[in-house]
Amino acid sequence: MKNYTIRINIHEQWAQTSIQDLFRTTLHAPKKLIHELRMEKAVFLNGSQVNWTSKVAANDELLILLPEDCNDSVIPAYESLQVLFEDEHLLIVNKPAGITTHPNEMNETNTLANLVAGYLQKKDDHRKIKHVQRLDKDTSGALLFAKHSLSHAILDRMLHDHQIERIYVALADGLIQESRFTVNQPIGRDRYHPTKRRVSKSGQQAKTDFQVCNTYPNKQLTLVECKLHTGRTHQIRVHLSHIGHPLAGDRLYGGRPIFPRQALHARKLAFIHPFTLEKLEITAPFLDEPSIFEARL
């Protein structure tokens, strides 16, 4: 384990907040992490060790020494990786279809986590960074990683509190008549299939908003924009299948095999950066060749 230094500039709206309240109330950092930082005397204000009851002023600089695990469990892979946004706190990359988000077995090298590890190690960064959300193997698009334990805790809480907007585009089988609709149906495991999910009264609450962007009568396809309110496994796939319009290419849920994968792409992530307070709206280009979506948007 190694200490990594992160810096946070104090914004005007944080002024006159105590260090303690800044971590607890403003950043909503976990109590355990705050305790560790206090015990290790790991927080400095303008170069001096902090008194946790002292108040910050605009343009002050917080310096935090965070203990971070080295990334020795994920084998780095050095193939190309499309980075959509990066700073010292987080990383957003464009995941291609056909690879999983992270290894499920020892010695795997063909996952997105391997590519991220290789990308960072080229910059001599050996931290074990963590994904905040995940995408199915055959879903492409924007995927968010946290680069240190504080940002991971905060971004994970933001995702849970619906403060990270996730917009997908999909091609569904058939012609959907409604222009806008919401599917609010719980999702649980399929008792007959180990990886499949289904709408189930005993499942976890799941809500997806849909907006029809276009219909293609000749192809019997509907282009929809999907907004997730929850993050259940296969959520969009299950909800569209449930209403009789499975994703094109999604063989698991009954979609016609007209594409080599399910036609689902994580198009956009939008949220307020927890440390810079910048409004981020990150759009992921389509990676398929030939493109499944491009000609239809």
Stretch 48-61: mean pLDDT = 94
- Domains in the chain: ranges and CATH: 2-68 (3.10.290.10), 82-161 (3.30.2350.10), 166-262 (3.30.2350.10)
Question: Do 274 and 159 meet the contact criterion of CB atoms below 8 Å apart?
Answer: no
Task: Compute the distance between CA of residue 104 and CA of residue 197 in angstroms, rounded to an integer.
Answer: 19
Enclosing H/E stretch for 38: helix 31-39
Average pLDDT value for the chain: 93
Whole-number pLDDT of residue 46: 95
Residue with tokens 């796939």: 237
Most confident of the ranges 1-5, 73-77, 121-125, 234-238: 234-238
By annotation, the residues acting in catalysis are 136
According to DSSP, the residues that pair with 209 across neighbouring strands are: 182, 227
Compute how many other C-beta atoms are within 10 angstroms of the C-beta atom of residue 131: 19
> At residue 4, does pLDDT exceed 90?
no
Q: How confident is the model at residue 2 (pLDDT cuts 50, 70, 90)?
A: confident
Q: What is the pTM of this model?
A: 0.93
Structural contact between residues 257 and 266, judged by C-beta atoms closer than 8 angstroms: no
Residues with Cβ < 8 Å from 258, sequence gap 6 or more? 219, 248, 249
pLDDT tens digits along 239-254: 999 999 999 999 999 9
| For residue 214, pLDDT beyond 60 | yes
For residue 72, what pLDDT band results from cuts at 50, 70 and 90? confident
Q: Which two tokens stand for residue 141?
A: 């698009």
